[in-house]
Amino acid sequence: MPTHASEHSSRTAKPTVDWAHGQQRADEFIKKLHISEKTYLVTGAASFPGMGCIGVIAPIPRLNFTGICLQDGPTGLNRNDLISVFPSGITVGATWDRQLMYERGSALGQEFRGKGANVFLGYHPHSPGPLGRHPLGGRNWEGFSPDPYLSGVAMAKTIEGVQEQGVQANAKHYIGNEQETQRSATVIDGVTVNAYSSNIDDRTMHELYLWPFANAIRAGVASVMCSYNRVNGTHSCENSHTVDGLLKKELGFQGFVVSDWSATRSLAKAVLAGQDMNMPGPADLDGFRTGKTLWGINLEAAVRNGTVPESRLDDMVRRILSPYFALGQDKGYPTVDPTSALAMAAQYNRQVPLANVGAVEARDVRGTHAELIREMGAAGTVLLKNSNGTLPLQKPKNIGVFGNAAGDLMSGFTSVSYAGTLNGYEFGTLDVGGGSGSARHSSIISPLHAIIIRTSQWKGRVQYLLDNERLAQDDFTSIWPVPEVCLVFLKTWASEGIDRTSFENNWNSTAVVESVSARCPSTIVITNSAGVNTLPWAESDNVTAILAAHLPGEQIGNSIVDVLFGDREPTGRLPYTIPRKDSDYDIPILNLTGPEATDSKAWQAKYTEGTLIDYRHFDARNITPLFEFGFGLGYTAFKLTSELSIHKTGNTTISAFPDPERTIQPDGNPDLFEELFSVSTQVENVGDRTGSTTVQLYASIPESDTPKVLRGFEKATVSAGQSINISFSLQRRDLSVWDVAHQAWRVPEGEFTLAVGLSSRDLPVQKKFEVL
């Protein structure tokens, strides 16, 4: 009987940086630097001409140092031409597939390297920013899941893929960046009001929000971005406890901490707290024109007058240059694509001289990535309902396509860039969210286009009505005869800079579904959403199938059609919980109005729920969701067919605490990542076709605040009628709680329960055991 495995299915992160080598090279380089050069190696050069990067560390020609280019891009290299738009983080999380997580990271790394970008400002593990404390958070779509375990795995695999291409990965936003509202200082009624403060207790910080960062550091991430918000009253980038204490000392982070753009609030305070690089560099908006900087020459003065020790400046430079040298970026690394500056200027609506347009051909770095994007889109699509075997479709002769999310983009390839409102986004498919995490399309296949192409193979009819206002008003005069099957495409827009205000899909979505399903007894709803939605029509008899297709990238139409017609199975599983009603989630976005809004002291986000977010909250409060975390159907059926086998690794006695004599390594405390137990079971495909499922392992831990937590998952493909072994590895950290008194991870005494199944609420195989 085979055992499921893949090259990147291992629980143990694969280090991607030889820190010792990088630090040695950096130290040799530092000896050649003047103090002024050191200060400009840690300070962004926003006015440096011709780079075309969102962040720049300027070259030092006398030492043949060509500079460092930092570029945005969780979904693709933003503000560039001839690049791919990949599935968003929320889609990646929904795949529950380590191999695809790695392959996406690798493909992104190839494109960033090809364009000459040194640093990929990429990964929101949903813990860095945000984890998903608020289901309506405006940037939740950029991260992977509100579960720290799933986010940590996705983050590590992505970093491995990116950095194996020689590109520096970045983990952001550190830490507690859980809403967009008042995320940074604003001026309200003439009064400067500080960013909100995420007030997080020590245990919650470790067990929830810090967890994925530990995975990132274990994987060798080159840099971490400190966020705009405050943490327990102190601005993130000058918070010595979280930056120097937790990140660098406790987790053993060896790379550099870079500010979010203009998040630096001070010089000496931030530097001494652990911030290593200031971006984009200017002291204020006028500095983009004049070159006036907050650090730079001021940091040189602080070093010379003793406010900042030169040893700390050397440490900052060492941290910045270590991954640069360790990843080989000093030898043969591609130069920045000269068209990047033009693309950036065009995207920000700045005048671009016509003589320059087209004078230089943009580097096409897309390669064969469209096929990976198409595969991942299907793998991240979750089949929530499939009554009477509606899907896959069997060559219907008359298909109806409805909804404003089905057709081509109406405002061009950049119509899904940064925006604070829904204006301009009503018509056209939605494959990515907005803000710095978005990307400019070079091509995109809409669902309507892909459906027309597919049905032409059997001369099928495709009728369509894409105006949601007409649909909501029950105007179907152009649709006749009544289609055999009706496909309704809905979407939920979200963007950096603003939080969502509603759980329902946008643009009168409920009325659209109700109108179509009243006429069509076989209505299939496909949602392209940036986060959690309520689905008030989900239990309607006429709504026979529901697909949560998330934000799957530029191959959106093809990936959806592949699932609809059975070319690929919808193997996605929910990386979050879908509620029955809005009030099932009870953590509001902090949004003050009136006199309080101008009081910085009032902007306090109190994390009183502790670790109880998403499914943990539903379990602890005994709330029945509409669709639970980890849920997803397929085109075949599975069942677990054996008892749970638990085997202790090694013969030594397990201690409650990690070995206090072992020093923290460059990738963290090694004891925490050692396997204590192996766990196995079997799963059988009881259907009539080959299919894939995700077997999930949950642990109930003594002294834990949560009824159960995810501690393992494996995606397996099994032939009809066959069984396969599924194995999990439990590490010390997986079975520990954070002991505030001892400031250490501790394995508690008492009875543990391990439960295995196909979702967080379908766990038929369980077993109790003790660790100590």
Q: Look at the block and give the residue holding tokens 């001289």.
A: 353
- Asked whether 592 and 603 are in contact (CB, 8 A), the reply is yes
- Cα–Cα distance for residue pair 267/45, rounded to 1 Å: 16
Q: Which of 675, 745, 750 is nearest to 712 (CA)?
A: 675
CA distance linking residue 229 with residue 236, whole number of Å? 6
Query: Which has the closest alpha carbon to 694: 382, 311, 424?
Result: 382
d(CA 213, CA 207): 11
Axis crossing angle, helix 148-163 with helix 98-114, rounded to the nearest 10: 40
- Residues in Cβ contact with 582 at an 8 Å cutoff, skipping those fewer than 6 apart: 503, 534
Asked if 321 and 255 count as a contact pair (C-beta separation under 8 A), the reply is no
Catalytic residue among 260, 276, 314, 562: 260
Q: Which of 346, 464, 489, 366 is nearest to 111 (CA)?
A: 366
What's the farthest any 2 CA atoms get from each other in the chain?
A: 83
Among this protein's residues, is 260 annotated catalytic?
Answer: yes
Question: CA nearest 228: which of 436, 529, 502?
Answer: 436
Query: Which residues partner with 684 through β-bridges?
Result: 639, 723
Amino acid identity for residue 367 in this structure: G
What dihedral angle (degrees, nearest 10) is formed by the CA atoms of 232, 234, 235, 241? -80
Cβ-based neighbours of 575, under 8 Å, separated by 6 or more = 90, 93, 94, 96, 144, 145, 146, 147, 150, 629
- Cα R_g (the chain), whole angstroms: 26
Q: Distance (Å, rounded) from C-alpha 90 to C-alpha 527?
A: 13
Distances (CA, A) of 275 to 19, 205, 269, 295: 19, 20, 9, 12
483-508: buried (b, 16+ CB within 10 Å) or exposed (e) per residue?
bbbbbbbbbbbbbbbbbbeebbbbbb
Secondary element (H or E) of residue 346: helix 340-347
CA dihedral (674, 676, 682, 685) in degrees, to 10, reads -30
What is the rounded distance in angstroms from the CA atom of residue 71 to the CA atom of residue 347? 14
Nearest 5 degrees, angle CA 87-CA 90-CA 96? 90
Q: Can you read off the two tokens belonging to residue 436? A: 């710095």
Structure tokens at 363: 């580097």
Contact residues for 435 (Cβ-Cβ < 8 A; gap 6+):
138, 139, 417, 418, 495, 496, 497
First-to-last C-alpha distance (Å) of the chain: 33
Active site residues: 260
